[in-house]
Chains A and B, each alone.
Chain A
Amino acid sequence: MQKVLEGNHAISWGAKASDVKVIAAYPITPQTQIVELLSEMCTSGELDAKFIKVESEHSAMAAVIGSAAAGVRSFTATSSHGLLLMHEMLHWAVGARLPIVLANVNRAVGPPWNIWTDQNDSLSQRDTGLIQIYCESNQEVFDTTLQAFKVAETVSLPAMLVLDAFFLSHTSEIVDVFGADIGKKYLPPFKPVDFLDPDNPKAFGNLTGPDYYYELRHKIHKDHLRAIDVARRADAEFGKTFGRSYGLVEEYRTEGAETILVTSGTITSTARVVIDERRERGEKLGLLKIRLFRPFPLDDVRRVLTRAKKVAVIDRNIGFSIGGIFAQEIRSALWNTRVHVPLFSFIAGIGGRDVTPEVLNEILDIASAVEYPEQETYWIGVKDEELSYTGR
């Protein structure tokens, strides 16, 4: 059924459609509506799940680690400082191989205090080992919740679905939703191999020396690699069942493109419009949307970008000193192909600054003006008089 839903509520519906059984959460702007609606659904009985109110995000993740270890489909949501507070437990969830789904609303980290969209929170969790999927629309957010559980439960790893603060979390769009009765056509019940069982007592995660820890970490690495295909198939199957699929990356008008713009999140929607306008004027431009960030879709990225003459990556985040994080990942993905594509790293939208068509046009103007990037990173629109590149 179609509903007008803000992004946050699309996730609540996604969790409901996934028939989650335990939700443990702590509120934080701008995710609170996710768990607020879920708590109402639990109270009214329309969602048959236990809602645990905890006193911090660290406890929220600890609580769902407990419930997932007991073999129950579990969900939590957070943002920014909440995610940072959970950090230790994110590592734990991965090492414990628990298929928890976490919805993270990308919000800047402080100080100074900032509630608007920015990707540093989720990207700084890169190396925890969580699967990470970046969404562009509220429909995608609803659909990805189910896909995330499917992938997570298949490879036994937690998954984080990511959406932009306010642009998605608080913006209403038409979303086609359904309940758990339909969701289960796509998502079968969770059947863990090992779980906490009073009739068959076991302890998990005990002391392991260098003799075996190495292999356990190797198993995670292998399952991350396996997860790429698992995610691809899960998305295709979703498409077959519900008529909507998104891919691990999406190419938009890349045929014949000489410069390919790479984006993630809602910047992608604006980029589509700008790409269309400039292609009208004869520019050979294309767009690559990165949806799956972890595991990194190496083959897909290589396949698309090695055909380009220039790559311009827009990062709504920063890895201090070295550049945008997506840019770093893509640069290293391309290295062993020995195809040396000039790669521009553009920083924009940090702290929620609006990435308008003007901003994207400026980026594409800079990329087309020079053969090769003249800076490691271009901070578009930064109020810095010393900077000499085109733009303010």
Chain B
Amino acid sequence: MSSKKRDFRDESEMPLSAVAADDMRWNKTGSWRNIKPFYDPKTSPCIASCPAGENIQGYIELARKERYEEAARLIWQNNPFPAICGRVCYHPCMDGCARGSLDRSVFIPAIERYLGDYAIEHGLREKRPEKTLDDKVAVIGGGPAGLSCAFFLAKKGFRVTVFEAKPLMGGVLRYGIPEYRLPKTVLDAELKRIEDLGVEFRPDSIVGKDVTLEALGQYSAFFVGIGLQTSRRLGIENENSKGVMAGLEFLEKINTGEPVEVGKRVVVVGGGNTAMDVARSSLRQGAHVTVVYRRTRDEMPAIEDEVHEANEEGVHFRFLSTPVGVITKNGRITEIRCQEMELGEPDESGRRRPVPKEGTYFNMPADSLLVAIGEKPESKMFEAVCSISSGLIVTDEYGRTSNRKIFAGGDVVSGASTVVNAVARGRGAAEVIAAELSGKQFDPKKTKKVVAIADLNTAYFLQKDRAQMQRSDGAGGRRPFAEVNMGLTCEQVQEEMSRCFSCGVCDGCDNCYVFCPDVAISRHDGTYTIDYDYCKGCLICVQECPRGILSTESEGK
């Protein structure tokens, strides 16, 4: 207690109520504490959900301040293709986005796309490394996995050559995904950025044919990202008839501008992204398109956005059906014979197995049957040098194969997957390759805890609608292959970014500073500090932090 208490002889000398002008700092209320708050910045759930680990919160924070170039460069730390991924990614970041618990998740791919397009418009280039290293790395496969690996290796100073079988780079980005989803001009611009780093592109080069294994001796390490080459076949009668084509083959023709006649009635078999791309491209050829799929919409592996857009454009769907035969006339397809299916017990994918229903056959007239039921790897040439299992190259989570010099990533490792997964694996492999070649131990970076939605306090955010992206006339318009989704305007992007909570990352809102009843939190140069001499552990700061930055630990008294 303070010893400076005043004595009063008469109440007329006394104030109306007790008044103290003493310094109370002698009373270290921190000694009352049994649980302690502390600043513990965390990983935002969007970042944790992104397979490439893009610093989404970080680039949104920069872009909100109109530091668009820095934001784009931040994306390039994890992904060389923001303009591509912003258009085609299945955006698991949006599923993780905590905003979804308040109203709707932030439209992250639209923001990424905006920044990717900004970088292209402004001709931004990635910085070349200061030193070029002696080691050369060969990347086999010019698709997203290989290109990503090349990009990150080149940034570290390695000399990289990318061997690609086809006449142009891009892989599925060029030969699979059609123009109306990903314009080739955008793809070429993103590819140029990689070339500008000094990466050597060698198209029209099949390893083992155009490139001898001897010629590969000059390379210190190899990254294999050849994807899945061969379309699966249905295995039904008359599958080789005229008018029956593999989905990938059809898409390659469409994407290289080769004329392809599909007729007026097209049936597409399959439920994945390839099937959707095939269906929507056929639609744009003026055909009536029906997608036949052996399970239901819920089991379709295609990205939900794609299925939705296909449906909106007028693609028809026939679920729980599968072709069992092709009916021809003069060697050309006229009809497809199908059988109805029903869903039985789950298979190894966890989805309910389609089981044919006895006696339920029906015919569908068709001018073309496009088969998009999956792709298989062509990995025979690697069997001698590293482990293969079911055609897929076996690797650890970083892309290391059973052969010290060989690394792999993308669909040839994982099976059919997505662009962002390939990009992530390409980068992961680049890290271990770099470690291996420089003789250093590979140390995966420690990640911070991820913010849980329960850590947030959404009372501090107002509801706000998600931005609506303008769409072109699409399949029904004068230019059917023109890009459907037209991106957000600068104003829209700023509005959309204002919806980001910045989970786990302090933005200086001052709640902790204002609400601390002990005035134990001070603020200096945008950083907050807790004075533990006075913090009573009431945890109001923890509760009122909208972003879940503060964590607690027991003091074990």
Contacts and interface: CB of A to CB of B under 8 A. Distances in A.
A126 to B, nearest CB: 21
Interface in B13-38: 14-22, 24
Contacts of A208: 18
Contact of B17 (A201, A216, A218): A216
Interface in A281-339: none
B11 A203 contact: no
Given A212-B8, A215-B8, A201 B14 contact: no
Contact of B18 (A193, A200, A205, A218): A205
Interface string A214-256: 0110110000000000000000000000000000000000000
Interface residues of A, number: 20
A206 interface: yes
A215 B16 contact: no
A200 to B, nearest CB: 8
B21 A201 contact: yes
B: contact size bracket? 10 to 19
A210 to B, nearest CB: 13
A203 B16 contact: no
B23 to A, nearest CB: 9
A212 to B, nearest CB: 7
A201 B24 CA distance: 11
Given A212-B8, A215-B11, A203 B19 contact: yes
B15 A194 contact: yes
A139 interface: no
Interface in A186-209: 193-194, 200-208
Contact of B20 (A96, A206, A218): A206
A203 B24 contact: yes
A215 B14 CA distance: 8
B21 A216 contact: no
A68 to B, nearest CB: 12
A97 B17 contact: yes
Given A203-B24, A212-B8, A219 B19 contact: no
A117 interface: no
A37 B275 CA distance: 63
Contacts of B8: 212, 215
B17 A212 contact: no
Contacts of A204: 17-20
A373 interface: no
Contacts of B11: 215-216, 218-219
B18 A202 contact: no
B18 A207 contact: yes
A383 B485 CA distance: 76
A95 interface: yes
A137 interface: no
B18 A206 contact: yes
Contact of A216 (B14, B20, B22, B24): B14
Contacts of B18: 204-208, 212, 216
Contacts of A207: 18
Nearest to B16: A97
B17 A96 contact: yes
Majority SS at the chain A contact face: loop
B499 to A, nearest CB: 24
B20 A219 contact: no
Contacts of A212: 8, 14, 18
Contacts of B14: 212, 215-216, 219
Given A212-B8, A215-B8, A218-B11, A156 B16 contact: yes
Contacts of B15: 193-194
B16 A202 contact: no
A202 B19 contact: yes
B17 A95 contact: yes
B17 A203 contact: no
Contacts of B20: 202-204, 206
B517 to A, nearest CB: 13
A95 B17 CA distance: 7
Contacts of B24: 203
A219 B20 CA distance: 19
A357 B17 CA distance: 48
B10 to A, nearest CB: 9
A194 B21 contact: no
Contacts of B21: 200-203
Contacts of A206: 18-20
A39 B14 CA distance: 39
Contacts of A96: 17
A43 B18 CA distance: 37
Contacts of B17: 95-97, 204-205, 216
Contacts of A219: 11, 14, 16
A97 B18 CA distance: 10
Nearest to A156: B16
A351 B15 CA distance: 42
Interface string A138-181: 00000000000000000010000000000000000000000000
Contacts of A156: 16
A13 B109 CA distance: 54
A205 B15 CA distance: 11
Contacts of A202: 19-21
Nearest to B14: A215
A207 B15 CA distance: 14
A202 to B, nearest CB: 5
Nearest to A218: B11
Contacts of A193: 15-16
What are the nearest 9 A-B pairs in CB distance?
Answer: A215-B11, A97-B16, A203-B20, A208-B18, A206-B20, A206-B18, A202-B21, A97-B17, A96-B17
Given A206-B18, A212-B8, 8 more contacts: A193-B16, A202-B19, A202-B21, A203-B21, A205-B17, A212-B18, A216-B14, A219-B14
23 contacts: A96-B17, A97-B16, A156-B16, A193-B16, A194-B15, A194-B16, A194-B19, A200-B21, A202-B20, A203-B21, A203-B22, A204-B17, A204-B19, A205-B17, A206-B20, A208-B18, A212-B8, A216-B11, A216-B14, A216-B16, A216-B18, A218-B11, A219-B14
